Amino acid sequence: MFSIIIATSDSERTLVPTLAALVPGATAGVVREVIVADAGSHDATAQVADIAGCRFVSSSQPLGARLKSAAGAARGLWLMFLVPGVVPQPSWIDETIAFADDSVQRGGSRAAVFAPPRRRAGDLLGPLRRLVGAPPRPEQGLMIPKTLYDEIGGHRAGACDPETDLARRLGRRRIVTLHTAVSIALPPVFDFSK
């Protein structure tokens, strides 16, 4: 059902928790494929993607072009864009299926994002962003029917922030915020001196 697209750049440590969170979705038949759209990493990002069974595509193109190219090669009817290090809560599978089914019944004209990471004490920007109608942040992911993605032109290669640009072109009325929140996984730090 879903083609997951993850843009990476020297992301070996942050990619691992994101891919691990997708395993239950693959087992449930929700994840059809994972495409890692890499910017020419010099770390072990390619090896992590290979071990996890992802399709790995490396390019020196800007982020928007890499995302659009990966979306064009995707085989799923739905696209899910994730940022390395983002881990959706376990409820993501059921809620994503329910949203996709509902969206299809409504003509496939809506997209969805996960709820933002739980805010920390003293964080006033999260509620302020929602109050002023700011577009969702890239770490909230984006689930969109491939037909809608193509209809609005996908990510733009020349956009300064192609993920926010795409969300703005979709507009708040076509983006549903799911109850499932994401967390940002901190990459493990290995101390080899011991």
The torsion angles phi and psi of 3, rounded to 5 degrees, stand at -100, 120
pLDDT of residue 126: 53
150-176 pLDDT tens trace? 999 999 998 999 999 999 999 999 999
pLDDT of residue 104: 86
Q: Measured between alpha carbons, how far is 141 from 160 in angstroms, rounded to an integer?
A: 18
Percent of the chain with pLDDT over 90: 80
Sheet holding 86-88, edge to edge: 55-58, 31-38, 2-8, 78-82, 142-145, 111-115, 175-184, 86-88
41-60 pLDDT tens trace? 999 999 999 999 999 999 99
pLDDT of residue 187: 58
Whole-model pTM: value is 0.89
pLDDT of residue 180: 96
Domains and CATH numbers, the chain: 2-184 (3.90.550.10)
Give strand ranges (E) for 30-72.
31-38, 55-58
86-120 pLDDT tens trace? 999 999 999 999 999 998 888 878 999 999 987 65
CA 185 to chain CA centroid, Å, is 14
